[in-house]
């Protein structure tokens, strides 16, 4: 049986921006936290939507036609197949939920591709 | 294309405890908010895990062998098939994520069964 997950305690274990950590699972989805600072890479996930909930800081999700600006307590679900680029000026803490096999850089690959830590 | 979801604004639209509201979707999962006050009913979902994230207040999830006490920023995933009974002394705001067809009272049914509002 799993225990409860305290997100602040888990974020304290993350050292680097854009290296996500898995804090739990729901069915075949991973519950993942990440610190975002600076621009990520443009990418998309053809096979899944992508759930973002901001917990601390401010997150901009650049889309090709507009920016989504999120503050704590705000969610945005990037639809499958839609190109996006997360970005933050200050270090920003985000909860991500997506199918367990989802790669952070989607179709883009490159040096920011990271295996999640198991927290 | 969906827009961002401000959870505080959505909670302001909920009038009654235990009548959930759907604020969005991720694939075939509903993103649902609910105000919890007082004990719910013991129930289980044989076909899915059940994700709880507390946003305001304090939530107790009674299990048959222990209580899970959650504060804001804490998550608990009730595994499929596990009997549970959410409970809160003060009005407590919770984000729930579960497959779209999931009924709030699971196998128990009864008067607390509620169709979610569409927020």
What's the pLDDT tens digit per position in B62-118?
Answer: 999 999 999 999 999 999 999 999 999 999 999 999 999 898 999 999 989 988 999
A79 contacts chain B (CB < 8 A): yes
CA distances from A79 to A89, B26, B81 (A): 24, 8, 30
Average pLDDT taken over every residue of chain A = 96
Over range B9-36, report the average pLDDT: 96
Distance from the A49 Cα atom to the nearest Cα atom in chain B, whole angstroms = 6
Write down the pLDDT at residue B83. 98
What's the pLDDT tens digit per position in A85-96?
Answer: 999 999 999 999
Contacts of A76 in chain B (CB under 8 A): 2-5
Over range B6-18, report the average pLDDT: 96
Over range B31-38, report the average pLDDT: 97
Write down the pLDDT at residue A54. 98
Write down the pLDDT at residue B1. 61
Eight-state DSSP code of residue B110: S
Contacts of A95 in chain B (CB under 8 A): 53
Residue A2's pLDDT band (cuts 50, 70, 90): confident
Task: Give me the half-sphere count of Cα atoms (radius 13 Å) on the Cβ side of residue A52.
Answer: 31
Residue B2's pLDDT band (cuts 50, 70, 90): confident
For CA atoms A20, B75, A30, A80, the dihedral sign is: negative
Query: Cβ contacts of residue B69 below 8 Å, gap of 6+?
Result: A4, B58, B59, B60
Nearest C-alpha neighbor of A35 from the set A106, A111, A107, A116: A116
Computed on alpha carbons and rounded to an integer, the radius of gyration of chain B in Å comes to: 13
Count helices and strands (H / E) in chain B.
1, 10
Q: In the predicted model, is pLDDT for residue B16 greater than 90?
A: yes
Cross-chain Cβ contact B1/A55 below 8 Å: no
Nearest-Cα residue of chain B relative to residue A78: B2
Nearest C-alpha neighbor of B114 from the set B103, B98, B106, B100: B103
Average pLDDT taken over every residue of chain B = 96
Distance from the B114 Cα atom to the nearest Cα atom in chain A, whole angstroms = 23
Distance from the A75 Cα atom to the nearest Cα atom in chain B, whole angstroms = 5
What's the pLDDT tens digit per position in A52-93?
Answer: 999 999 999 999 999 999 999 999 999 999 999 999 999 999
The closest CB to that of A4, out of B7, B29, B76, belongs to: B76
Write down the pLDDT at residue B8. 97
pTM: 0.96
Nearest-Cα residue of chain B relative to residue A47: B27
Q: In the predicted model, is pLDDT for residue A1 greater than 70?
A: no
Share of chain A above pLDDT 90, in %: 93
Write down the pLDDT at residue A10. 97
CB A53 within 8 A of CB A32: no
């Amino acid at each position: 049986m799993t225990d409860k997950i305290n997100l602040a305690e888990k974020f304290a274990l993350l050292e680097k921006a854009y290296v996500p950590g898995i804090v739990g699972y729901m069915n075949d989805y991973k519950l993942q936290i990440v610190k975002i600072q600076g621009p990520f890479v443009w990418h998309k996930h053809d096979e899944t939507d992508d759930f973002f909930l901001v917990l601390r800081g401010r997150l901009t999700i650049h889309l090709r036609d507009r920016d989504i600006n999120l503050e704590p307590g705000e969610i945005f679900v990037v639809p499958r197949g839609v190109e996006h680029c997360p970005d933050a000026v200050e270090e920003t803490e985000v909860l991500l939920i997506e199918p367990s096999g989802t790669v952070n850089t989607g179709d883009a690959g490159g040096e920011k591709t990271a295996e999640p830590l198991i927290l």
